[in-house]
Structure 1
């Protein structure tokens, strides 16, 4: 895996959303220094990423499952739209 290329993609996505490293760090519960390390391709924290993704997925699943089916379908459409961009 090319960590520098991955880091550059993360940086580009962050900048496209007009976020600072500090703002992104707060959103993903990491330190700004850690975000900088990731963007520079020095480290990707595979363990942290895997556990964080699982935690986020579980949290999203739990929240979505509590919604009426009609609302669940709306959320799925939004997610599909965001992923297509």
Structure 2
């Protein structure tokens, strides 16, 4: 089986701060935009939006994912 993450969601400029119904937004003040995937066999992948593997740079996030997330979880956000 091929294990992959979806394409990262990228930011887009907006003409107005008003959001369409059903949308949410948050400012990115500092940190990294990253995707995390926890595979059912215990593999964890943390990558940047440019697809750089950052897993080894953040062992505490890897350990927290293993301890707290269910298998086959994918997250996209700012850390």
TM-score, reference length from structure 2: 0.27
Select the structure with the greater relative contact order (CA < 8 A; seq sep ≥ 6). Answer: 2
More strand per residue:
2
More helix per residue:
1
